Structure 1
Amino acid sequence: MNRNYIGSLLRLLLLVAVAWGCDSKKEAAHNHAEQFTCPMHPQIVRDEPGSCPICGMDLVPQAESGEEVVDSALRPLLKPTNAQVLSEAPTIAPETGTRIVTLSAQGKVAYDTREQAGVASRVAGRIERIGIRYNFQPVRKGQLLLEIYSPDLVAAQRELLYVSRQDDNPALREGARQKLLLLGMSAAQIADIVRTGKPVYRVFVYSPASGYIVDQSVVAAPATAPSAAMAGGGAASSGGGMNGMGGGAASTTAAATAPNVGNAPVLIREGQYVGAGQTVFTIYKASSLVADFYLDASLAREVRRGQKILFQSVAGDAALQTGTIGLVEPAQRGGESFATARVYLRGSKLNPGQLVRAEIPVVTENGYWLPRSALVSLGTGWIVFKAEGDVFTPKRVQTGLSADGMVQVLDDLTGWRVARTSSYLVDSESFIRASANL
């Protein structure tokens, strides 16, 4: 009997110890999880489970560190919309490989400045007669342009006449004769002066070449920058516009020498004084023309000298022509950077001042290609939305060429998937915070 009593007592003590330990654990667990909070509104703290009075979500227990325990499925929602976007938008992979891109550019036909000829007076004097009435008037070689009265010229003629009459020194006569030749008189005129003994009070200035003449005041006038439509013609279809949206401006030489003055009258008048060596007129040879095409400055690296292009008149009144780029000239005017691709024309039916457009084929092997809809402009750069799990993160990228609705991205996009249409992921009420693309 004693043995049964002792066994029953031990079993009773064991049950009491187990029950006491369970109560201690429950109390400890209750003490550690005695507060509950909302995952979306951490300021809501309750002593018992329930719902958030703000959003209605179930309250979750707080951790021992005081931080709320957040469901992993809710973590993408905790970042601001300008840093990442939760969306199920369709994605695409960037394309690679060699592409032949056609760049479009607009330009203008102008005179070739290498073939121009200047008309200057060799003596200082007063203009007595002008044979030119309007700018770009056609002239022939040897045509009379100016008649100038020069006191210095009259004095030099009187000196020749005096030496010829009073002194039988051939060296002095030849020196006086050479002086008149250097002042612009012809040998026939000098012979007539010696024969008649009467000085000529006017020196005649003749055209040194055939072409179109324009006075120096028009040539020196600054050229205006091309319109946004002309400069943007290349940028809209070329990737340079993706980086800087740069426009263009007129060429620094040929475009400046062919201002749009039409048949404006010359500004030089009879009675006006000119200095010795002063250039009065410039003659452009009609047989030598150039076509300047305006490109965004970033495209200058894609266009090479000696490259073939196709061009025609904007009005469509001329057939498609083939040309070779003879000069690629970077320049800046009016606060805008641009590049000019120049084609030298020989025997062309185009006229100076005529607008032309060109197609420039460019072969590129570098970069990745994305649809234009996959990029969003920030004003200072371009971004794409990279798919990272269930969210899209904006990434800043550097762009290159653009053609046929596709844009070249110069950064490494290996393994990326980006949103096909990025405009749907832009929050219009906040600025996009784009992280580095690498």
Structure 2
Amino acid sequence: MRNSYIVKIITGVFIAAVGLAACKTKGGVAPHNSMELVADSSITHLTQPVNAQVVATIPVISPETGSRIYSAAANGVITYDTRQQTAVASRVGGRIERLLIKYNYQPVKKGQLIMEIYSPDLAAAQRELIYVAQSSKELLAGARQRLQLLGMQPGQIDQVLKTGNILYRIPVYSNSDGYILEKSAAVATASAAPPVATSAGDGMSGMGSAAAPVTSAPAAPAATPVLLREGQYVTAGQPLFTIYQADALVAVFSFPPQLAATIRKGQRLLFYPTEDNTAMQTGIIGLIEPVFRNGENFTLARIYLNKHHFRAGQLLTASIPVMYSNGSWLPKKAVWRLGNKAVVFKKEKEVYVPQVVQTGVEEKDMIQVITDIADWKVASNAAYLVDSESFIKTKQ
């Protein structure tokens, strides 16, 4: 390194000069046994390696202190309100002869045909109905009620009595308007940890803005194919589908632990669609849920939407003001990153010495330093004090 080479030259000149001075006496040349080396303490700082301290004339700055307010942004998504849902189950055991649901989150209407099931028990009950209708009118009401409990509609029962033919395919209808989701897919969606990151927003009150740590957020519902197939057997009472009501949606936002402490239930949030930051609106947090998924710790905040113009799967961005009252603030260029450590160059007499500091949040061009450096003088630009190989030896 060039700096080390310069230091070696200066050190050699210094030793030679000291040797010549020690050889001089009153009469000219001193005796051989009276030679003595005398070090000049004014240049001892030049003999230290450049990765431990640096001699430079770069300007110094003092850390800024005081409270700062910034607007942190949290990403979110519009999803279905799990409180407003109905289940679709088979009342009889049998084989699926016809399936009209092809993918999850397919829109359905109340009374819409979902599937047709062949059930041996239902066919036997229809034969019993026909026999009772021909032989014993007193038992007809009980036979009709049994078929209704097994899922047949009154009109279908009347058709069997009128024609005398057994209906081998029993239809299953939707009991609500909304979006249908397979039960197995609903469980998988609830346990997944989708990757959506949080980011920083603009500052408030002229005090700057800080970047929020990266975390996960809920993912948009995916229209995946259903796993249920025609020819598959189902049992009586087996839940097959869940229907989420179309008018019940919820906005779910993800907050890292640093921001989770600043939110509470009943607090108002300002949010807007990610693709249009002019369509802002406010909402009240109705539920705060701490979550630990796939080794990641974060907090979900839900805003229940009554009257809205959003659609399921739409991405949102929420803005929340956060105040930081501890620590000091430095320009980002004054802090040098060494992997998982941060270093500043502290001015000590004629040299700059690298010191490890603990950092916090970051904003556009400022960074929070948790370590107490209020009375320090640090280099304004750390990049100028790093040698070509970026080796830095910090003090313990």
TM-score above 0.5, yes or no: yes
The reply to whether residue 248 of structure 1 matches residue 225 of structure 2 is no
Distance 2:12 2:233 in 1: 94
Distance 1:156 1:114 in 2: 37
Which of 277, 282, 286 is the aligned partner of 2:246?
286
In structure 2, the partner of 1:233 is: 199
What SS class does the counterpart of residue 424 from structure 1 fall into? helix
Distance 2:50 2:151 in 1: 81
Matches within 5 A, 1:89-108: 89-108=58-77
In structure 2, the partner of 1:128 is: 97
Given that 1:106 and 1:234 are in contact with CA atoms closer than 8 Å, whether structure 2 keeps it comes out as no
What SS class does the counterpart of residue 199 from structure 2 fall into? helix
Q: 1:179 to 1:418 in 2, by over 3 A?
A: farther
RMSD over aligned Cα atoms? 4.0
Q: 1:113 to 1:169 in 2, by over 3 A?
A: same
Matches within 5 A, 1:89-168: 89-158=58-127
Deviates more, 1:264-273 or 1:415-424: 264-273
Q: Offset of 1:157 from its aligned partner?
A: 4.7
Q: What code does the residue aligned with 1:392 have?
A: Y
What SS class does the counterpart of residue 231 from structure 1 fall into? coil
Given that 1:134 and 1:266 are in contact with CA atoms closer than 8 Å, whether structure 2 keeps it comes out as yes
What SS class does the counterpart of residue 104 from structure 1 fall into? strand
Q: What code does the residue aligned with 1:308 have?
A: R
Q: Offset of 1:391 from its aligned partner?
A: 2.4
What SS class does the counterpart of residue 287 from structure 1 fall into? coil
Q: 1:202 to 1:87 in 2, by over 3 A?
A: same
Listed one character per residue, the Cα deviations across residues 172-208 of structure 1 (whole Å, up to 9, x for unaligned) are 986x777655543456666776788765433332212
Q: Offset of 1:100 from its aligned partner?
A: 1.4
Which of 73, 81, 101 is the aligned partner of 2:42?
73
Listed one character per residue, the Cα deviations across residues 39-90 of structure 1 (whole Å, up to 9, x for unaligned) are x77xx9xxxxxx97677752366xxxxx975433333334333333222322
Given that 1:118 and 1:283 are in contact with CA atoms closer than 8 Å, whether structure 2 keeps it comes out as yes
Distance 1:106 1:301 in 2: 17
What SS class does the counterpart of residue 291 from structure 1 fall into? strand
The reply to whether residue 213 of structure 1 matches residue 180 of structure 2 is yes
Share of identical aligned residues, percent? 48
Q: What code does the residue aligned with 1:427 have?
A: D
Given that 1:215 and 1:281 are in contact with CA atoms closer than 8 Å, whether structure 2 keeps it comes out as yes
Given that 2:327 and 2:368 are in contact with CA atoms closer than 8 Å, whether structure 1 keeps it comes out as yes
Q: 1:69 to 1:53 in 2, by over 3 A?
A: closer
Deviates more, 1:275-284 or 1:159-168: 159-168
Q: Offset of 1:103 from its aligned partner?
A: 1.0
Distance 1:224 1:320 in 2: 27
Deviates more, 1:188-197 or 1:348-357: 188-197
Which of 219, 231, 256 is the aligned partner of 1:271?
231
Count of residues in Structure 1 that have an aligned counterpart in Structure 2: 367
Listed one character per residue, the Cα deviations across residues 339-386 of structure 1 (whole Å, up to 9, x for unaligned) are 544433332212222233232211222222222222222221322222
Given that 2:18 and 2:37 are in contact with CA atoms closer than 8 Å, whether structure 1 keeps it comes out as no
Q: Offset of 1:148 from its aligned partner?
A: 1.0
Given that 2:217 and 2:253 are in contact with CA atoms closer than 8 Å, whether structure 1 keeps it comes out as no
Higher relative contact order, structure no. (Cα contacts within 8 Å, ≥ 6 residues apart): 2
Q: Offset of 1:285 from its aligned partner?
A: 2.1
Return 5+ residue gaps in structure 2 as ranges.
1-6, 23-35, 203-208
Q: Offset of 1:163 from its aligned partner?
A: 7.5
Distance 1:276 1:79 in 2: 84
What SS class does the counterpart of residue 153 from structure 1 fall into? helix
Distance 2:147 2:278 in 1: 51
What SS class does the counterpart of residue 58 from structure 1 fall into? helix
Given that 2:199 and 2:211 are in contact with CA atoms closer than 8 Å, whether structure 1 keeps it comes out as no
Q: What code does the residue aligned with 1:202 have?
A: R
Listed one character per residue, the Cα deviations across residues 141-165 of structure 1 (whole Å, up to 9, x for unaligned) are 2322122111133334556677788
Matches within 5 A, 1:317-396: 319-329=279-289, 331=291, 339-396=299-356
Return 5+ residue gaps in structure 1 as ranges.
1-39, 45-50, 62-66, 242-246
Normalised by the length of structure 1, the TM-score is: 0.68
In structure 1, the partner of 2:271 is: 311
Q: Offset of 1:431 from its aligned partner?
A: 3.5
Distance 2:277 2:73 in 1: 19
Distance 1:76 1:182 in 2: 95
Q: What code does the residue aligned with 1:279 have?
A: P
Distance 1:271 1:157 in 2: 22
Q: 1:427 to 1:209 in 2, by over 3 A?
A: farther
Distance 2:18 2:257 in 1: 59
The reply to whether residue 397 of structure 1 matches residue 357 of structure 2 is yes
Listed one character per residue, the Cα deviations across residues 300-351 of structure 1 (whole Å, up to 9, x for unaligned) are 3344444433222222286112223444555566666555444333322122
Distance 1:100 1:90 in 2: 28
The higher radius of gyration belongs to: 1
In structure 1, the partner of 2:151 is: 184
What SS class does the counterpart of residue 114 from structure 1 fall into? coil
Given that 1:239 and 1:408 are in contact with CA atoms closer than 8 Å, whether structure 2 keeps it comes out as no
Q: What code does the residue aligned with 2:360 have?
A: G
Q: 1:166 to 1:318 in 2, by over 3 A?
A: farther
Given that 1:398 and 1:409 are in contact with CA atoms closer than 8 Å, whether structure 2 keeps it comes out as yes
In structure 2, the partner of 1:59 is: 18
